[in-house]
Amino acid sequence: MQYVFPTYARFPFEIVSGKDFTLTDNQGKQYQDFASGIGVCGLGYNNEALNKAVIDQVQKVWHTSNLYESQLQDDVAHLIVKDEDMLVSFCNSGTEANEAALKLARKATGKQNILTFNDSFHGRSYGSLSVTGNAPIKEGFGAMLPGAIYDSYNDPAALELITSDLAAVMLEVIQGEGGINVGDPDWLKSVEAKCHQEGVLLIIDEVQTGMGRTGELYAFQNYDLHPDIFTLAKCLANGLPVGAMVGKKSLAEFFGPGSHGSTFAGNPIAMAAAKVVLETIDDDFLACVKKKSEHIWKEIDQQLVGLDAVESVSGKGLMIGIHLTASVPVDEVITKLQAAGLLAISSKHNTLRLLPPLITPCCQLCKGIETIAKVLKTY
Ligand SMILES: *Cc1c(COP(=O)(O)O)cnc(C)c1O
Protein backbone atom coordinates (compact mmCIF):
# COMPACT_ATOMS: atom_id res chain seq x y z
CA MET A 1 0.00 0.00 0.00
CA GLN A 2 1.42 3.37 -1.01
CA TYR A 3 -1.12 6.02 -0.14
CA VAL A 4 -2.11 5.09 3.41
CA PHE A 5 -0.24 6.00 6.62
CA PRO A 6 1.66 2.92 7.79
CA THR A 7 -0.03 2.75 11.22
CA TYR A 8 -0.61 -0.97 10.67
CA ALA A 9 2.00 -3.64 9.86
CA ARG A 10 -0.18 -5.51 7.41
CA PHE A 11 0.05 -9.13 6.30
CA PRO A 12 0.83 -9.37 2.58
CA PHE A 13 -2.54 -10.55 1.34
CA GLU A 14 -6.03 -9.15 1.02
CA ILE A 15 -9.25 -10.78 2.11
CA VAL A 16 -11.78 -10.40 -0.68
CA SER A 17 -14.78 -12.46 0.37
CA GLY A 18 -16.27 -14.53 3.16
CA LYS A 19 -19.05 -16.93 4.02
CA ASP A 20 -19.95 -17.81 7.61
CA PHE A 21 -16.56 -18.68 9.22
CA THR A 22 -14.50 -19.01 6.02
CA LEU A 23 -12.57 -16.19 4.36
CA THR A 24 -10.95 -16.13 0.92
CA ASP A 25 -7.94 -14.03 -0.07
CA ASN A 26 -6.97 -12.43 -3.39
CA GLN A 27 -5.04 -15.58 -4.39
CA GLY A 28 -8.11 -17.75 -3.83
CA LYS A 29 -6.67 -19.26 -0.65
CA GLN A 30 -9.27 -20.11 1.99
CA TYR A 31 -8.90 -19.61 5.71
CA GLN A 32 -10.87 -20.70 8.73
CA ASP A 33 -11.50 -17.49 10.66
CA PHE A 34 -10.50 -17.52 14.33
CA ALA A 35 -10.36 -13.74 14.66
CA SER A 36 -13.68 -12.22 13.46
CA GLY A 37 -11.74 -9.21 12.14
CA ILE A 38 -10.64 -8.09 15.57
CA GLY A 39 -13.56 -9.55 17.47
CA VAL A 40 -16.13 -7.89 15.24
CA CYS A 41 -17.91 -10.36 12.96
CA GLY A 42 -19.57 -12.49 15.63
CA LEU A 43 -22.24 -13.62 13.19
CA GLY A 44 -19.64 -14.36 10.52
CA TYR A 45 -19.69 -13.26 6.92
CA ASN A 46 -22.44 -12.93 4.36
CA ASN A 47 -25.17 -13.55 6.91
CA GLU A 48 -28.42 -13.55 4.96
CA ALA A 49 -30.60 -11.75 7.50
CA LEU A 50 -27.94 -9.07 8.05
CA ASN A 51 -27.40 -8.57 4.33
CA LYS A 52 -31.14 -8.20 3.79
CA ALA A 53 -31.60 -5.67 6.59
CA VAL A 54 -28.68 -3.57 5.37
CA ILE A 55 -29.73 -3.67 1.72
CA ASP A 56 -33.33 -2.77 2.65
CA GLN A 57 -32.09 0.22 4.65
CA VAL A 58 -29.66 1.31 1.90
CA GLN A 59 -32.65 1.53 -0.41
CA LYS A 60 -34.67 3.61 2.09
CA VAL A 61 -32.29 6.25 3.50
CA TRP A 62 -28.59 6.30 4.47
CA HIS A 63 -28.45 9.26 6.78
CA THR A 64 -30.94 11.48 8.52
CA SER A 65 -28.84 13.21 11.28
CA ASN A 66 -29.95 13.20 14.89
CA LEU A 67 -32.22 16.21 14.48
CA TYR A 68 -35.26 13.96 13.99
CA GLU A 69 -36.88 11.03 15.73
CA SER A 70 -35.49 7.56 15.02
CA GLN A 71 -37.61 4.53 15.78
CA LEU A 72 -34.72 2.34 14.62
CA GLN A 73 -32.32 3.87 17.19
CA ASP A 74 -34.92 3.43 19.91
CA ASP A 75 -35.53 -0.21 18.91
CA VAL A 76 -31.79 -0.96 19.05
CA ALA A 77 -31.41 0.89 22.35
CA HIS A 78 -34.32 -1.11 23.80
CA LEU A 79 -32.68 -4.37 22.68
CA ILE A 80 -29.43 -3.24 24.36
CA VAL A 81 -30.89 -2.19 27.72
CA LYS A 82 -33.75 -4.74 27.86
CA ASP A 83 -35.71 -4.07 31.08
CA GLU A 84 -32.89 -2.27 32.87
CA ASP A 85 -33.24 1.35 33.94
CA MET A 86 -30.65 2.49 31.41
CA LEU A 87 -30.35 4.71 28.34
CA VAL A 88 -28.11 4.56 25.28
CA SER A 89 -25.99 7.16 23.51
CA PHE A 90 -24.87 5.99 20.07
CA CYS A 91 -21.53 6.75 18.40
CA ASN A 92 -19.27 5.21 15.77
CA SER A 93 -16.57 3.23 17.57
CA GLY A 94 -15.39 1.77 20.84
CA THR A 95 -13.09 4.72 21.38
CA GLU A 96 -15.97 7.16 21.05
CA ALA A 97 -18.18 5.09 23.36
CA ASN A 98 -15.48 5.23 26.04
CA GLU A 99 -14.92 8.93 25.39
CA ALA A 100 -18.63 9.50 26.03
CA ALA A 101 -18.44 7.40 29.20
CA LEU A 102 -15.54 9.47 30.55
CA LYS A 103 -17.29 12.74 29.74
CA LEU A 104 -20.54 11.63 31.34
CA ALA A 105 -18.79 10.30 34.47
CA ARG A 106 -16.90 13.54 34.99
CA LYS A 107 -19.94 15.72 34.42
CA ALA A 108 -22.28 13.63 36.57
CA THR A 109 -19.90 13.43 39.54
CA GLY A 110 -18.25 16.84 39.20
CA LYS A 111 -14.96 14.98 39.76
CA GLN A 112 -11.95 14.42 37.47
CA ASN A 113 -10.04 11.32 38.45
CA ILE A 114 -10.50 7.94 36.83
CA LEU A 115 -8.95 4.74 38.19
CA THR A 116 -7.96 2.33 35.45
CA PHE A 117 -5.60 -0.62 35.19
CA ASN A 118 -2.29 -1.73 33.72
CA ASP A 119 -2.77 -3.68 30.47
CA SER A 120 -6.19 -2.12 29.87
CA PHE A 121 -7.19 -0.86 26.43
CA HIS A 122 -9.92 1.70 25.96
CA GLY A 123 -9.07 3.41 22.67
CA ARG A 124 -6.81 5.83 20.82
CA SER A 125 -8.35 9.28 21.31
CA TYR A 126 -6.71 11.50 23.95
CA GLY A 127 -9.38 10.68 26.53
CA SER A 128 -9.59 6.94 25.96
CA LEU A 129 -5.80 6.67 25.46
CA SER A 130 -5.24 8.49 28.74
CA VAL A 131 -7.01 5.68 30.60
CA THR A 132 -5.29 2.92 28.60
CA GLY A 133 -2.62 0.95 30.49
CA ASN A 134 -0.14 0.59 27.66
CA ALA A 135 2.72 3.12 27.73
CA PRO A 136 4.31 2.46 24.29
CA ILE A 137 1.18 3.48 22.37
CA LYS A 138 1.15 6.89 24.10
CA GLU A 139 4.76 7.68 23.25
CA GLY A 140 5.37 10.94 21.42
CA PHE A 141 1.80 12.18 21.60
CA GLY A 142 2.38 14.69 24.38
CA ALA A 143 0.35 15.35 27.49
CA MET A 144 -2.49 12.98 28.26
CA LEU A 145 -5.72 13.87 30.05
CA PRO A 146 -5.05 14.68 33.71
CA GLY A 147 -6.58 12.52 36.39
CA ALA A 148 -5.92 9.00 35.14
CA ILE A 149 -4.72 6.77 37.97
CA TYR A 150 -3.33 3.28 37.39
CA ASP A 151 -2.96 0.15 39.43
CA SER A 152 -2.52 -3.57 38.80
CA TYR A 153 -5.52 -5.48 37.53
CA ASN A 154 -6.89 -8.11 39.95
CA ASP A 155 -4.78 -6.57 42.75
CA PRO A 156 -6.63 -6.26 46.09
CA ALA A 157 -4.39 -3.24 46.88
CA ALA A 158 -6.19 -1.32 44.11
CA LEU A 159 -9.30 -1.24 46.29
CA GLU A 160 -7.50 1.25 48.55
CA LEU A 161 -7.38 3.70 45.63
CA ILE A 162 -11.16 3.70 45.26
CA THR A 163 -12.01 6.76 47.32
CA SER A 164 -14.58 9.52 47.00
CA ASP A 165 -11.98 11.54 45.01
CA LEU A 166 -12.69 9.42 41.96
CA ALA A 167 -15.27 10.12 39.28
CA ALA A 168 -15.12 6.52 38.10
CA VAL A 169 -13.35 3.21 37.92
CA MET A 170 -13.04 1.95 34.34
CA LEU A 171 -12.25 -1.66 33.51
CA GLU A 172 -12.72 -4.61 31.19
CA VAL A 173 -13.89 -7.78 32.96
CA ILE A 174 -11.56 -9.65 30.60
CA GLN A 175 -8.70 -7.51 29.28
CA GLY A 176 -8.67 -8.20 25.54
CA GLU A 177 -5.77 -6.26 24.02
CA GLY A 178 -3.84 -6.64 27.28
CA GLY A 179 -3.41 -10.42 26.98
CA ILE A 180 -6.82 -12.03 27.69
CA ASN A 181 -6.49 -11.36 31.42
CA VAL A 182 -9.60 -12.65 33.13
CA GLY A 183 -10.95 -10.64 36.04
CA ASP A 184 -11.10 -12.41 39.38
CA PRO A 185 -14.81 -12.67 40.29
CA ASP A 186 -14.30 -11.77 43.95
CA TRP A 187 -12.04 -8.85 43.11
CA LEU A 188 -14.55 -7.48 40.57
CA LYS A 189 -17.37 -7.71 43.13
CA SER A 190 -15.17 -5.94 45.69
CA VAL A 191 -14.39 -3.17 43.19
CA GLU A 192 -18.12 -2.72 42.59
CA ALA A 193 -18.90 -2.69 46.32
CA LYS A 194 -16.17 -0.13 47.03
CA CYS A 195 -17.42 2.06 44.18
CA HIS A 196 -20.92 2.04 45.68
CA GLN A 197 -19.56 2.76 49.14
CA GLU A 198 -17.48 5.74 47.95
CA GLY A 199 -19.96 7.21 45.44
CA VAL A 200 -17.76 6.33 42.47
CA LEU A 201 -19.20 5.30 39.10
CA LEU A 202 -18.28 1.88 37.70
CA ILE A 203 -17.64 1.94 33.95
CA ILE A 204 -17.27 -1.45 32.25
CA ASP A 205 -15.78 -1.52 28.76
CA GLU A 206 -17.61 -4.33 26.93
CA VAL A 207 -16.32 -3.33 23.51
CA GLN A 208 -14.55 -6.67 23.02
CA THR A 209 -16.25 -8.87 25.61
CA GLY A 210 -19.83 -7.87 24.81
CA MET A 211 -22.41 -9.22 22.38
CA GLY A 212 -22.27 -12.87 23.38
CA ARG A 213 -18.50 -13.38 23.15
CA THR A 214 -18.27 -14.97 26.63
CA GLY A 215 -21.61 -16.80 26.52
CA GLU A 216 -23.61 -13.98 28.10
CA LEU A 217 -24.80 -10.94 26.14
CA TYR A 218 -22.46 -8.83 28.27
CA ALA A 219 -19.46 -10.35 30.04
CA PHE A 220 -20.27 -8.55 33.31
CA GLN A 221 -23.37 -10.77 33.58
CA ASN A 222 -21.01 -13.71 34.24
CA TYR A 223 -19.94 -11.88 37.41
CA ASP A 224 -23.32 -10.50 38.52
CA LEU A 225 -22.02 -6.95 38.17
CA HIS A 226 -24.22 -3.88 37.65
CA PRO A 227 -22.15 -1.12 36.07
CA ASP A 228 -23.36 2.48 36.12
CA ILE A 229 -22.06 2.82 32.56
CA PHE A 230 -20.95 0.26 29.99
CA THR A 231 -19.73 0.56 26.44
CA LEU A 232 -20.21 -1.53 23.29
CA ALA A 233 -18.87 -1.49 19.75
CA LYS A 234 -16.97 -4.24 17.89
CA CYS A 235 -19.66 -6.96 17.43
CA LEU A 236 -22.61 -4.63 17.80
CA ALA A 237 -23.32 -4.27 14.07
CA ASN A 238 -21.13 -7.18 12.88
CA GLY A 239 -18.68 -4.87 11.10
CA LEU A 240 -20.57 -1.69 10.31
CA PRO A 241 -19.07 1.16 12.38
CA VAL A 242 -21.13 1.72 15.50
CA GLY A 243 -20.59 2.18 19.21
CA ALA A 244 -22.86 2.64 22.19
CA MET A 245 -22.46 4.15 25.63
CA VAL A 246 -25.06 2.75 28.01
CA GLY A 247 -25.70 4.50 31.29
CA LYS A 248 -28.15 4.52 34.17
CA LYS A 249 -31.30 6.59 33.58
CA SER A 250 -30.43 8.71 36.60
CA LEU A 251 -27.50 10.13 34.58
CA ALA A 252 -29.82 11.51 31.86
CA GLU A 253 -29.85 15.09 33.22
CA PHE A 254 -26.08 15.32 32.60
CA PHE A 255 -26.38 14.31 28.94
CA GLY A 256 -29.13 16.72 27.91
CA PRO A 257 -29.68 18.46 24.57
CA GLY A 258 -26.46 19.96 23.20
CA SER A 259 -24.17 18.29 25.72
CA HIS A 260 -22.82 15.57 23.46
CA GLY A 261 -23.28 14.27 19.94
CA SER A 262 -21.86 13.09 16.65
CA THR A 263 -22.95 13.63 13.05
CA PHE A 264 -22.90 9.95 12.10
CA ALA A 265 -23.98 8.49 15.46
CA GLY A 266 -26.81 6.00 15.20
CA ASN A 267 -26.52 5.84 11.41
CA PRO A 268 -29.59 4.04 9.99
CA ILE A 269 -27.60 1.42 8.07
CA ALA A 270 -25.51 0.54 11.13
CA MET A 271 -28.70 0.51 13.25
CA ALA A 272 -30.43 -1.85 10.80
CA ALA A 273 -27.50 -4.26 11.19
CA ALA A 274 -27.30 -3.84 14.98
CA LYS A 275 -31.00 -4.63 15.30
CA VAL A 276 -30.55 -7.97 13.52
CA VAL A 277 -27.43 -8.74 15.57
CA LEU A 278 -29.26 -8.09 18.85
CA GLU A 279 -32.35 -10.03 17.75
CA THR A 280 -30.14 -12.95 16.72
CA ILE A 281 -28.19 -13.11 19.99
CA ASP A 282 -31.14 -14.35 22.05
CA ASP A 283 -31.16 -16.81 24.96
CA ASP A 284 -31.05 -19.85 22.64
CA PHE A 285 -28.12 -18.39 20.73
CA LEU A 286 -26.26 -17.68 23.98
CA ALA A 287 -26.97 -21.20 25.29
CA CYS A 288 -25.46 -22.49 22.06
CA VAL A 289 -22.34 -20.32 22.50
CA LYS A 290 -21.97 -21.73 26.03
CA LYS A 291 -22.27 -25.30 24.78
CA LYS A 292 -19.71 -24.70 22.02
CA SER A 293 -17.41 -23.08 24.56
CA GLU A 294 -17.47 -26.23 26.71
CA HIS A 295 -16.42 -28.27 23.68
CA ILE A 296 -13.64 -25.96 22.55
CA TRP A 297 -12.20 -25.60 26.07
CA LYS A 298 -12.17 -29.40 26.43
CA GLU A 299 -10.33 -29.59 23.10
CA ILE A 300 -7.89 -26.87 24.25
CA ASP A 301 -7.21 -28.80 27.46
CA GLN A 302 -6.56 -31.99 25.54
CA GLN A 303 -4.62 -30.62 22.57
CA LEU A 304 -2.83 -27.44 23.66
CA VAL A 305 -2.28 -27.49 27.41
CA GLY A 306 1.00 -29.25 28.13
CA LEU A 307 2.65 -28.51 24.78
CA ASP A 308 6.20 -27.13 25.08
CA ALA A 309 5.12 -23.97 23.24
CA VAL A 310 2.23 -23.27 25.62
CA GLU A 311 2.76 -21.64 28.98
CA SER A 312 -0.90 -21.35 29.95
CA VAL A 313 -4.36 -20.64 28.56
CA SER A 314 -6.97 -18.12 29.68
CA GLY A 315 -10.32 -16.71 28.67
CA LYS A 316 -14.02 -17.36 28.79
CA GLY A 317 -16.50 -18.57 26.20
CA LEU A 318 -15.14 -17.88 22.73
CA MET A 319 -12.58 -15.33 23.93
CA ILE A 320 -9.40 -17.34 24.27
CA GLY A 321 -5.75 -16.55 25.06
CA ILE A 322 -3.00 -19.09 24.40
CA HIS A 323 0.05 -17.77 26.26
CA LEU A 324 3.13 -18.90 24.37
CA THR A 325 6.52 -19.46 25.92
CA ALA A 326 9.04 -16.68 25.30
CA SER A 327 10.98 -18.71 22.70
CA VAL A 328 7.85 -19.06 20.52
CA PRO A 329 7.10 -15.65 18.99
CA VAL A 330 3.37 -15.20 18.51
CA ASP A 331 3.77 -13.31 15.20
CA GLU A 332 5.67 -16.24 13.72
CA VAL A 333 2.94 -18.63 14.92
CA ILE A 334 0.28 -16.45 13.31
CA THR A 335 2.13 -16.53 9.98
CA LYS A 336 2.46 -20.33 10.19
CA LEU A 337 -1.24 -20.61 11.01
CA GLN A 338 -2.06 -18.50 7.97
CA ALA A 339 -0.04 -20.89 5.81
CA ALA A 340 -2.01 -23.74 7.41
CA GLY A 341 -5.27 -21.96 6.52
CA LEU A 342 -6.28 -20.35 9.81
CA LEU A 343 -6.53 -16.68 10.77
CA ALA A 344 -5.75 -15.77 14.38
CA ILE A 345 -4.51 -12.59 16.06
CA SER A 346 -2.20 -11.71 18.90
CA SER A 347 -2.54 -9.91 22.19
CA LYS A 348 -0.05 -8.45 24.64
CA HIS A 349 2.53 -10.67 26.42
CA ASN A 350 3.11 -13.09 23.51
CA THR A 351 -0.51 -14.26 23.58
CA LEU A 352 -2.20 -16.01 20.67
CA ARG A 353 -5.70 -14.57 20.74
CA LEU A 354 -8.65 -16.57 19.39
CA LEU A 355 -11.98 -14.85 18.73
CA PRO A 356 -13.82 -17.14 16.30
CA PRO A 357 -17.20 -16.04 14.93
CA LEU A 358 -19.86 -17.11 17.43
CA ILE A 359 -21.74 -18.94 14.68
CA THR A 360 -18.84 -21.36 14.04
CA PRO A 361 -20.08 -24.95 14.51
CA CYS A 362 -18.50 -27.13 17.21
CA CYS A 363 -16.75 -29.47 14.78
CA GLN A 364 -15.17 -26.54 13.01
CA LEU A 365 -14.00 -24.97 16.29
CA CYS A 366 -12.34 -28.28 17.19
CA LYS A 367 -10.78 -28.47 13.72
CA GLY A 368 -9.27 -25.02 14.31
CA ILE A 369 -7.74 -26.13 17.61
CA GLU A 370 -6.29 -29.16 15.81
CA THR A 371 -4.64 -26.86 13.26
CA ILE A 372 -3.20 -24.73 16.08
CA ALA A 373 -1.94 -27.85 17.89
CA LYS A 374 -0.24 -29.06 14.71
CA VAL A 375 1.60 -25.75 14.29
CA LEU A 376 2.52 -25.43 17.96
CA LYS A 377 3.90 -28.99 18.00
CA THR A 378 6.59 -27.87 15.53
CA TYR A 379 8.22 -25.97 18.43
C1 LIG B 1 -11.20 -2.40 20.38
C2 LIG B 1 -11.42 -1.88 21.73
C3 LIG B 1 -11.65 -0.51 21.96
C4 LIG B 1 -11.56 0.52 20.86
O5 LIG B 1 -12.57 0.34 19.91
P6 LIG B 1 -12.43 1.07 18.49
O7 LIG B 1 -13.70 0.72 17.81
O8 LIG B 1 -11.21 0.51 17.82
O9 LIG B 1 -12.31 2.51 18.73
C10 LIG B 1 -11.92 -0.12 23.25
N11 LIG B 1 -11.98 -0.99 24.25
C12 LIG B 1 -11.78 -2.31 24.08
C13 LIG B 1 -11.88 -3.24 25.23
C14 LIG B 1 -11.47 -2.79 22.81
O15 LIG B 1 -11.23 -4.09 22.63
Question: Does residue 39 share a domain with residue 87?
Answer: no
* Three-class SS state of 41: coil
Identify the H or E element spanning 128.
helix 126-130
The fraction of the chain above a pLDDT of 70, given in percent, is 100
Q: pLDDT value at position 245? A: 98
Q: Give the predicted TM-score (pTM) of the model.
A: 0.98
- Show which of 259, 280, 301 is a domain's final residue: 280
State the pLDDT confidence band at 17, using cuts at 50, 70 and 90. Answer: very high
Question: Does residue 237 share a domain with residue 178?
Answer: yes
Question: Does residue 194 share a domain with residue 227?
Answer: yes
Q: pLDDT value at position 360? A: 98
State the pLDDT confidence band at 165, using cuts at 50, 70 and 90. Answer: very high
State the pLDDT confidence band at 336, using cuts at 50, 70 and 90. Answer: very high
Q: pLDDT value at position 151? A: 98
Tell me if 122 CB under 6 Å of ligand 1. Answer: yes
| CB-CB neighbours of 70 under 10 Å | 17
| CB-CB neighbours of 67 under 10 Å | 5
DSSP conformation class of 147: T
For residue 107, tell me if it sits in a domain.
yes
Query: Structural domain of residue 100, as residue ranges?
Result: 49-280
Identify the H or E element spanning 53.
helix 48-58
Task: Report the nearest atom of ligand 1 relative to the CA of 205.
Answer: 13
* Three-class SS state of 14: coil
Question: Does residue 205 share a domain with residue 219?
Answer: yes
Question: Does residue 147 share a domain with residue 103?
Answer: yes
Q: pLDDT value at position 280? A: 98
Tell me if 95 CB under 6 Å of ligand 1. Answer: yes
How much is the average pLDDT of 149-166?
98
Q: pLDDT value at position 271? A: 98
Q: pLDDT value at position 146? A: 97
For residue 70, tell me if it sits in a domain.
yes
Can you say whether residue 349 is alpha, beta or left, with left for phi > 0 and alpha for psi between -120 and 50 degrees?
A: left
**Distance from Cα 38 to the centre of ligand 1, integer Å:** 9
Tell me if 353 CB under 6 Å of ligand 1. Answer: no
What does the mean pLDDT of the chain come to?
Answer: 98
State the pLDDT confidence band at 134, using cuts at 50, 70 and 90. Answer: very high
Q: pLDDT value at position 377? A: 98
Query: Measured between alpha carbons, how far is 93 from 265 in angstroms, rounded to an integer?
Result: 9
Q: Which of 90, 96, 116, 122 to mutate to test the pocket of ligand 1 (most atoms within 8 A of CB)?
A: 122
Question: Does residue 101 share a domain with residue 134?
Answer: yes
What's the total number of domains in the chain? 2
Q: pLDDT value at position 330? A: 98
